[in-house]
Amino acid sequence: MTVVSWPPSAMLIVVIAVAVLITVAVTGKVSEQEKKYQKTQEQYEKKEKGRS
């Protein structure tokens, strides 16, 4: 096993980059789920109005 000696600034950049990628991925997934929920809720409301 080899240990790579990176300067702290390079490690910090890598950590920040990974954090940004994860944040973007999670935000995209949540946004997608929110749109799906809104669509389902609108369909439910239309269905309920049709019953009354």
pLDDT, tens digit, for every residue of 39-51?
A: 999 999 888 887 7
> According to the model, what pLDDT value does residue 6 have?
86
44 within domain boundaries = yes
**36 Rama class: left (phi>0) / alpha (psi -120 to 50) / beta:** alpha
Does any domain span residue 3? no
8 found inside a domain: no
Residue the block writes with tokens 């009354």: 52
Query: What whole-number distance in Å separates Cα of residue 26 and Cα of residue 14?
Result: 18
Residue 40, in any domain of the structure: yes
Instruction: Give the Cα-Cα-Cα angle 42, 48, 52 (nearest 5 degrees).
Output: 145
Q: Classify residue 5: in a domain, yes or no.
A: no
pTM beyond 0.85: the answer is no
